[in-house]
Structure 1
């Protein structure tokens, strides 16, 4: 039976989860493993149904895009959590200085309680079940608010989740902005949000009213810098999949490129050749995904129109779809850009790619540093000195060198933003710690020398201690 929670049932569902967690504040290793195994089996057994539902929500979504971006990545994350969970659950031993001896110190990782997860529409399975995996691995319960843009996927996921978890352990919530606002106002033990920077500010503001800790996975304009020494065709081969997967509707897709100004024309041609090889056409090509809805398509069209009006050169790499209901949009290069263009001010989140020519690498670094810190940054270079110059003189949530976007799928790399692109990290060990409270524990046995510090102060022992330790 489908278990999508309505707005009126939010408070009741939260109370049920609080009560359930209060009765099971530290689930055993085996309980957590069982939860992860059930989650994985549910996803694998129903992957074709999920792929079909996501395609319906998008108008058409490439089955390979869904399998790579949603199914494969999620299964890998669950497998990694299963493999590492026993190690993650072990207390971390800490050093205790001589002044506090004899004693032992450790950090015990305790589940936080009820976790709220707000998921976006662009990867509705991966960005829902990814954080849910680590929340369950850490021993929590979870309420998940999904995007209203993916109703078919939401309904299906709610149905299958209800088959394997009781509502007081995992609950799926759906609804519009009003539902999201109500969800954000709940006194969760941790609130995890993936989405735009503007909405992230609202989520953080609502959470602050209840002092709820937050993890914000936002976006921003993720730059790419191409070194003058790298072969342009090679650079394109490392970038293009990260930009075309899901028709560019990926938070870590390359947003704009810095290219040596004498190679911009060569870069344009290399993109054209590579794109035509991957997608000879997009009209009836099942390998290419649609823009999610009319609103997003109109937004992208307006970015193009604004850039063209202000003098940009627009180069679509394929003919667009003649079917207006399909919303297929080819990768489109934009050259001769300037900062007054909206496309250079907003996160693109689609198959548009501005290219900026540069004379000196310091120009590119200065430009990136003058903007809000991005979620990702990409370096195309085999020159170690060039790599280090960019790596150490810029800030970004994560970096790929000679690749784009796929650091997100590496299980043992933390994922998260910095500044305007977010706060906090998850995936792997960092995800487990995000959804756990690291409780510091100082433990003494039968012998304690603490009484040596008792007043009256100023005796010989105090003088020796102060002399020895305050230096």
Structure 2
């Protein structure tokens, strides 16, 4: 560990203690202050939209401005608006019934902020995946410490500067640094830890948090399938899948990770996807609308996956492109792999890039079995004109979320919880589920000065026997 990292770790411990002290002084932040906090987040997004998009693009080498505006900035602004609109209802103490045997009395559930939360953000959507959890935390009345990814330093520094202008450090703060800082961050005694990233690192985060019994939300990943049934128009499926897969060059946790299509149609489906993406990006190597791969390490990993599949007998389909220009720009053209080997990395690891395997299935049940024999994915997509078949796929599988004849957009519906299941994650957020994540349901039962339960206190006698027999039915 370097001296700079040691200093950063010491500083984040001090900030955490300052935030805990500030929360202790104001455990129940009133709704008007919470809404003002949310307004500050929305305003910094609006006022700095171009700077945020530019910083993200600098981190990637090239990120389409339009993708950043839609998926990072507008997403957060809409999230703020939805949270403000429903916050009073979400915060409201809820009365619940009391059984006759416990009357007279009043029972209620108080919605109380958990306290100081830690947010670990990934690199693929470095702004949105840090700020959307922050919106939920602020709506819940919490204070927050954010650790962005070291792979996106320009975005991290800008986010740190913007949040420092909008909030006091004892309310919201950003801690930057590499793996050593990140590891120390996940070991802090937060009141809740929110992590977005890979399943592999998620396991380590859960272990670190468990040392302090810190509750965690894990937003992970997995291999999200897209199943196309025989009745669905191939070109329509191809256009939808191509858009979802190659948005942000496939560096999206809920992007289709592989396509299952009826046997014999694999090549036709692959060619239709390539045709659709060729229309979207006439030359991915030089088109600024097509995003680069975030780092040399990920670029090499993806190329290695493609070559392994090629050597294993997969047919590789790519649209026309300038290969030298693509390499210079650290871009991998949209790539479709027809029937790669089952043991290839593209079929066993989350791809997280613009590489899409297409495999054939003999009947729908075999496609369902293929999915259910593996870890539950973060998302699952089914393309079918037959509602019964689509429902059959949904009923027989498990996934964090799902889409029918569409992909990706389920995460944009504010009232739908977003999260995984099993290896793809635990816990959820967005909308009320985000508020609930950072809120403790405190159960309160209250009575007057005297309550009949005192008649049941020792020494036990005939009255206790009569009452206990009645309760036992």
- Give the TM-score, by structure 2 length: 0.96
Give runs of aligned pairs for residues 41-80 of structure 1, distance below 5 A.
Answer: 41-80=43-82
Q: What's the secondary structure of 2:324's corresponding residue? A: coil
Q: What's the secondary structure of 2:193's corresponding residue? A: strand
CA drift at 1:453: 2.7
The aligned counterpart of 1:408 is 411
The aligned counterpart of 1:354 is 357
Structure 1 window deviating more from structure 2 (361-370 vs 124-133): it is: 361-370
Give runs of aligned pairs for residues 281-320 of structure 1, distance below 5 A.
Answer: 281-319=283-321
Counterpart check, 1:326 vs 2:336: no
The aligned counterpart of 1:82 is 84
Is contact 1:282-1:321 (8 Å) kept? no
Counterpart check, 1:392 vs 2:425: no
Counterpart check, 1:370 vs 2:373: yes
| Distance in 1 (alpha carbons) for counterparts of 2:322 and 2:358 | 21
| Distance in 2 (alpha carbons) for counterparts of 1:129 and 1:232 | 37
The aligned counterpart of 1:258 is 260
> Equivalent of 2:269, from 267, 278, 289?
267
Q: Provide Cα deviations, 1:139-179, integer angstroms capped at 9, x if missing partner.
A: 11100000011111111111111111011111101111111
Q: Provide Cα deviations, 1:180-225, integer angstroms capped at 9, x if missing partner.
A: 1010111001000000011111111111111111000000111111
Aligned length: 466
| Distance in 2 (alpha carbons) for counterparts of 1:300 and 1:328 | 10
Name structure 2 gaps, 5 residues minimum.
1-6
| Distance in 2 (alpha carbons) for counterparts of 1:285 and 1:44 | 26
Q: Provide Cα deviations, 1:241-272, integer angstroms capped at 9, x if missing partner.
A: 21111000000000011111132233123212
Q: What's the secondary structure of 2:356's corresponding residue? A: strand
| Distance in 1 (alpha carbons) for counterparts of 2:457 and 2:321 | 82
| Distance in 2 (alpha carbons) for counterparts of 1:342 and 1:262 | 23
Name structure 1 gaps, 5 residues minimum.
none
Is contact 2:241-2:273 (8 Å) kept? no
Is contact 1:110-1:438 (8 Å) kept? yes
Q: What's the secondary structure of 2:445's corresponding residue? A: strand
The aligned counterpart of 1:419 is 422
The aligned counterpart of 1:444 is 447
Is contact 1:74-1:125 (8 Å) kept? no
> Equivalent of 2:94, from 87, 92, 95?
92
Q: What's the secondary structure of 1:108's corresponding residue? A: strand
Is contact 1:337-1:356 (8 Å) kept? yes
Is contact 2:250-2:354 (8 Å) kept? yes
- Give the TM-score, by structure 1 length: 0.96
Q: What's the secondary structure of 1:322's corresponding residue? A: helix
Counterpart check, 1:242 vs 2:240: no
Q: Provide Cα deviations, 1:23-79, integer angstroms capped at 9, x if missing partner.
A: 111100001000000110011110000011111111010011111110111111111
Give runs of aligned pairs for residues 95-244 of structure 1, distance below 5 A.
Answer: 95-244=97-246
| Distance in 2 (alpha carbons) for counterparts of 1:80 and 1:369 | 35
The aligned counterpart of 1:379 is 382
| Distance in 2 (alpha carbons) for counterparts of 1:470 and 1:381 | 53
| Distance in 2 (alpha carbons) for counterparts of 1:333 and 1:425 | 32
| Distance in 2 (alpha carbons) for counterparts of 1:38 and 1:305 | 48
| Distance in 1 (alpha carbons) for counterparts of 2:114 and 2:191 | 6
